[in-house]
Amino acid sequence: MTLTLGDKPIDLQEIIKVAIDREPVALSDSARERVAAARACVEEHIASGEPVYGVTTGFGVLAAVAIRPEEIDDLQRNLIISHAAGMGPLLTDEVIRAAMLLRAVSLVAGHSGIRQETLDLLIAMLNRNVIPLVPSQGSVGSSGDLAPLSHIVLGMIGMGECRFDGREMDAAEALAAAGLKPVRLTAKEGLALVNGTQIMTAIAALAAVRARRLADLADIAGAATLEAVRGRSDAFDERLHINRPHQGQIISASNIRKLISDSKLVDSIPERMQDAYSLRTMPQVHGASRDAIDYVIRTLEIEANSVTDNPLIFPDSNDVISGGNFHGQPVALASDFLGIAVAELGSISERRINRMVDGSYPHLPMFVTPSPGLNSGLMVPHYLAAALVSENKGLAHPNSVDSIPTSANQEDHNSMGTIAARNAEQIVTNVELVVAVEIMVAAQALEFSDGKRLGKGTAEAYRLVRRAVTALEGDRYLRPDLEALRSAVVSDAFVAGVSEAVGELL
């Protein structure tokens, strides 16, 4: 399959196909026509001699500085080499591929003024997997992701470093190895390529897709815990939830009912009137996070299809308009919300883990291990979950409420959206492990089920867990178990297998 850009909006699943599965990308004829029209408009304005921001003037607070015609190309090159000043750990290839795709989507709208040959190089690098090395730190999230996007464009002009064929090398060498030539940027092109929100959107988009899967995993883990502690099912009765009709809450309650259907463990202790909140309010907590994640996904899909550089070119009216579409506030707020929503899935999961290991249920030994005392069992996996949940509390502090002025106070309000997206992605990574720990502990606790039948969905979850790790009969080195189980449960195959057993989770 090939993703053709320019005729319709893209969604997050298409971003995943290009970023992770390396689906190739092409441009539609209508996209090429729009790009050509916008470029002709740029050329016309240059010929007229009128001042155009970032084309015949400097950038930011230097917008009042006129650029001579013979210096226009140098202006664009200087923009890239001066702005490629990021530092810190490198962003993943998947994030960079997503950002390159999103940059192309923005450019094919025909409001950026880039030349076709420059856009073609960006697409060719994506298709041949020539990936510029991009540091993760340096963006304040307004005027776009200037520093990290500049590192991508640095590769396009044959400078900096790229990864190709599994090796890191000079960008010029990587382009040559892929059969490509660097481009010489001309008027407006450097600005069109670096003025945008594509880095923060790429990070947040990949994290949001994982978060959506995490919402299903949280329901699966919670249902397994409910069975392991022999909890009650009445808190998931549909009649409760249609009287508080938040969509996510209704979905989570429905999922848990499906997962525990036919269970002989749930409701097996009639004298227990109510379960603790971490069990009883799973639909309310998981559901609120579901709704938040869905909001984030809708916001990111709008941003993914937006034109976010400056100024914008309008060929129909021959206008060039300066504005602020590069400001990352929509993505910053969504990323903060994503981090908070996912952190809560981890927080309630840790509380359920604690209930299984603390010895408060008569049928479960301390730390769900035979011979507690001699064995520590799953004591320290709970510590791991607690540590990750605590770490998330700091990461979830909203970055979008911060702003530090830059560019000599011309850019006096910044979104910090890229930091918010990076923190949200780390929270997702942490909570994937927390939920994997819960599923691991629940599976171990179900070893003490006295042979009672599990629910349709939880039985399949238990089977898939045991394919990855064996039951704990005594203490052993647990890190390999944790790695194996995390890999297993965060795969699409785990949720798909459980979903198939119950007739599809919502």
Q: Is residue 329 part of a domain?
A: no
pTM given for the model: 0.96
> Is there a single domain that holds both residue 212 and residue 341?
yes
Q: Which of 196, 221, 254 is the C-terminal boundary of a domain?
A: 196
Contact predicate 422/138, CB 8 Å:
no
Q: Is residue 324 part of a domain?
A: no
Give the chain's residues under pLDDT 70. 60-61, 63
- CATH number, domain with residue 378: 1.20.200.10
CA-closest candidate to residue 214, choices 238, 240, 248: 248
Q: Is residue 319 part of a domain?
A: no
Q: Is residue 315 part of a domain?
A: no
Q: Rounded to an integer, what distance in angstroms lies between the CA atom of residue 7 and that of residue 26?
A: 11
pLDDT of residue 209: 97
**Helix runs in 358-416, H state only:** 379-395
> Is there a single domain that holds both residue 348 and residue 211?
yes
pLDDT of residue 59: 72
Q: Which of 179, 196, 213 is the C-terminal boundary of a domain?
A: 196
Q: Rounded to an integer, what distance in angstroms lies between the CA atom of residue 419 and that of residue 428?
A: 14
Q: Is residue 325 part of a domain?
A: no
Domain region containing 103: 3-196
Q: Which of 53, 295, 361, 477 is catalytic?
A: 53
CA-closest candidate to residue 52, choices 334, 366, 320: 320
- CA angle centred on 150, ends 144 and 153, rounded to 5°: 125
Active site residue 383: no
Q: Is residue 63 part of a domain?
A: yes
Q: Is residue 347 part of a domain?
A: yes
Contact predicate 415/308, CB 8 Å:
no
Q: For residues 348, 353, 358 and 360, what is the CA-based torsion angle, rounded to 10 degrees?
A: 70
Q: Which of 196, 216, 247 is the C-terminal boundary of a domain?
A: 196
- CA-to-CA dists, residue 278 to 225, 345, 354, angstroms: 10, 10, 10
| pLDDT tens profile 241-272 | 999 999 999 999 999 999 999 999 999 998 88
pLDDT of residue 301: 98
Give buried/exposed letters for 218-239 (b at 16+ CB in 10 A, else e): bbbbbbbbbbbbbbbbebbeee
- CATH number, domain with residue 106: 1.10.275.10
Per the structure, how many domains does the chain have? 2
Tell me the residue ranges of DSSP E strands in 415-459.
Answer: none
> Is there a single domain that holds both residue 227 and residue 266?
yes
- CA-to-CA dists, residue 5 to 86, 363, 493, 502, angstroms: 29, 58, 29, 37
| pLDDT tens profile 172-219 | 999 999 999 999 999 899 999 999 999 999 999 999 999 999 999 999
> Is there a single domain that holds both residue 76 and residue 146?
yes
